[in-house]
Structure 1
C-alpha cells in the first residue's frame, strides 16, 4: 500500500468543511414531468451538464455521502465506443447545496460503461471515497480523504466493500473483460485465457488497511460445487457481481459460465468473507440482479424453475436451495435494478427501454400495499445500446429524500438526474 498526493487537497478540504456553501432552498427542481394529459411525476432536475458526459454506474454502490449533500460521479469526453486502456475519466462530485457545482477529485483509467470504476463513498466514513485505477502494470484502488486531501493506493482493485469499510471482495477483472466486455477493464489480458476453471483465479478478499489480497474462492472450486445446470466440458467459468450483506457477515456473487456460442447461465452463491460456508442459493441457471433485504434474506431476479417461461422478483432466504417467493408479480418490473430504501418499506427499481419511444421508468414499490409509483419516463435513444447503453441504475440518498439516475439528456449525452421523492417517502 502506498500514499499519493491530491493536487486539489486544499480546495476539496474547504468544500467538505462547508466553505462557500449556500442553502438548498436556493435551488429549484424542474417542473413535474408529465406523460400524456394526466400522469404526474415527482420533481426532477439534471445536476450535471455538457459538453462532457457524466454518470455514476451501478445501483448497489454508495453514491451519496452520509449527509446526502454530495453526489459522486464520473466525467468523460466521448460516448458510443468501448473504452481503451489509456482512456481517462475524471472523478468528481456534485454539491447539491452550492448550485449543483461539479468538484473534480481525481481520475481513472480502469473503468467500463456499466459500472464505471467502482467509485463509491467508503462505508463507515464521512469523508473517504474509493475507486479503481491502474498503476505500474496492474489494477489498483485509490482511497481519498476529502477533508484532509490525503490519499493512499491499495495494490488491488475492489468490487464490494464491507459495511465497516475495512474489507473488500473483488473478482478477476481481466477474466471478466475476456468473457463479457463492458464489465471488465481493457488493457491486461487474462493469463488463464485457455483455462476453463483456473485454480488461481476467482474471488479475492482485500484488506483495505494493509493492502493484502487473498484468493478465497477459486473458479476451480466453484466449478465442482453443487450441480451445474446444462453442464458440459467446454464451458468457461467466471464470477461477477459481488455484494456484502448489511452486517458484513457474508457476500453474494454470481457464478457464471459461458458456452462456446457465447450464451451464459448463472447461479447465485453466497459465502463468508473468508470464502468458507459456500451456499448455492439459486441453482436453476437463471438469476440476475439482486439485493440484500437484511442479513438473512435476498431479493433476486430469477425464474421460478429452469423451465418457467418468464422471470420474476423473488425473495429467498440465504440458504442452499432456497425456496423462491415472488414479490410484486406483474407490478414490480422483473428486469430492473433492485434496492431497498432504508427501513425496507419501499423497493426502488427501474426498467430497460420499452416501447417504440424506448422509455426507461425508475419506480418505487410499496411492499405492504403492493402499489407502484413511477418516478418518470426517460428516453433512451437507439444509439445507446449494447456495451455503451445507459441503464438508469437508480440510487437513493441516505435520508431517503432523493433518487439519482443516469440518463441521456437532450443533446448533452448521459448526465446525472436528481429526483425528489420526499413527498412519497415522507423524508424531511
Structure 2
C-alpha cells in the first residue's frame, strides 16, 4: 500500500497489487436501485474532480485514484489560483493524500493529471514555472520528481513521448480548455507558423514543433472558409500502439462559432490524414490502431449528431454505431476488449440529469449506470461533465458530479455485475 513519507510524498509497498476487501468502504446505492452501486469517494468543504475521459485516472492495480482539489467554484481560474493534486486509496476508506499542486489548469481538463502508461507509480501533470508552462513528473513510490520544460496533452502507450497543442492559444480562443497566466504571442496571427502541435520527449525534455497552424490551414479544404477565421488545435490522443495520434483542427469564426476537422498523423507530424473533413467532429476514441469512433453528423443519411466508426484514412467513414441508442453527444471510451462502449450525456430534460451509460456493441443494448443532477449554476466554462473513466480491471467507473451541498466530487460506480452478467 502507499505510505506517506517525511517529504509528504507516497511510498508504494509490495502489497499494492494485493487488493483485499479490508478497509474498503461499501459501495452504497446512493442512486435508485436499478443502477449499479455508487459511492462518493471525496467530500467537502473543498471540491474535487478529475477532468477528461481519455486520461489514466486509476493506477494499474485499480486501487488508487487521482483527483484534484479546489476551494471555489463558479468562476474562471485566475493566474495564481492553486489546485491541489491528490490520491485516493479505495482500499483504505477512500483516504485522500495530497501530493503536490499546480497553477496551470482549467475546469474541463484540470492540469492533465494522469498516470504514465506502463508505470505503476509515476504520474504527471502540467504546471506553470515563471514565463512558461511545464510538465511535472513524480514517482509516488520514491518521492523523486523532475520537470519537463514543456506542457503535455497525450502520452504515448510506452510512456516516453507526448504530443501537445499550445495552451496559450487555446486559452485565447476557447476559455475553459487553456491555461491562464501567459498570453498567446501569436494572438493576431490567424494561422501562425511558429506554433501548433509539439512532440515532447519525456526522457530528455526536448520538444519540437511537428505540425504548425500555418501548415494545417493549407491542407485539404476548409469547410465554410471565410476571412478572419482563427485556427487552433485541441484534443490529442495517441493510438493504442503509439504509431499515430489524433488531433482536432478547429477554427473560430469572428462571431465566436467554430467548426472542426479530425486529423491523424505519425508522432513526427508526417503522413497527415483528414479523417473527418466535413467540419463536424467532436468526442472520439481509438477502437484499435486502425479505427476511430467519433461523433459527427451529415454522414450515412443522419443529419443529427451520432457516433460513427471511421477508418484511419482520408474521409474514412465506415458505419454508424448505436443509432438512437448510444448518445450522440457524450464522452466515449472502449472498455478493454472492445465489447463495451462507456459514454455519458449532457444534462437532459427539466431535471438536468446526466446519464453515464454502457453500450454492448454486439447486442446493441444500452445500460444506464446512474442519473446525476447538474444544477443550473454549473454552466458554460465551469460546468461539470461526468467524463466517465474506467479502471484497468473494468470493475469501476469514476465520474465528476456535484453532490448534495458539497459541490463537485468524485463518484465511484461498480459496474462489475453489469459487465459480467451480460
- Give the shorter-chain TM-score range: over 0.9
Change in 2 beyond 3 A, CA 1:304/1:25: farther
Q: Is the 8 A contact 2:306 2:323 kept in 1?
A: yes
Change in 2 beyond 3 A, CA 1:52/1:137: same
1:365-409 CA distances to partner (integer Å, 9 max, x unpaired)?
Answer: 000000000001000000000000000000000000000000000
Select 1:333's aligned residue among 320, 323, 327: 327
**Matched ranges for 1:213-362 at <5 A:** 213-305=207-299, 309-362=303-356
* 1:92 paired to 2:86: yes
Q: Give 1:18 shift.
A: 4.8
**Matched ranges for 1:1-400 at <5 A:** 12-14=9-11, 16-18=13-15, 23-26=20-23, 27-31=25-29, 33-34=31-32, 40-305=34-299, 309-400=303-394
Q: Is the 8 A contact 1:9 1:149 kept in 2?
A: no
Q: Give 1:124 shift.
A: 1.1
SS at match of 2:211: strand
Distance 1:33 1:275 in 2: 46
1:81-115 CA distances to partner (integer Å, 9 max, x unpaired)?
Answer: 00001000000010000000001110000000000
Instruction: Provide TM-score, normalisation by structure 2.
Output: 0.96
Instruction: Provide TM-score, normalisation by structure 1.
Output: 0.94
Unaligned runs of 5+ in 1: 1-6
Q: Is the 8 A contact 1:32 1:41 kept in 2?
A: no
Q: Give 1:137 shift.
A: 1.3
Q: Give 1:309 shift.
A: 3.2
Q: Is the 8 A contact 2:161 2:199 kept in 1?
A: yes
Distance 2:160 2:316 in 1: 30
Q: Is the 8 A contact 1:285 1:306 kept in 2?
A: no
SS at match of 1:426: helix
Distance 1:308 1:44 in 2: 35
Distance 1:171 1:192 in 2: 14
Q: Give 1:424 shift.
A: 1.2
- Report how many aligned residue pairs link the two structures: 416
Distance 1:350 1:111 in 2: 23
Aligned alpha-carbon RMSD (Å): 1.7
* Cross-structure match for 1:4: none
Unaligned runs of 5+ in 2: none
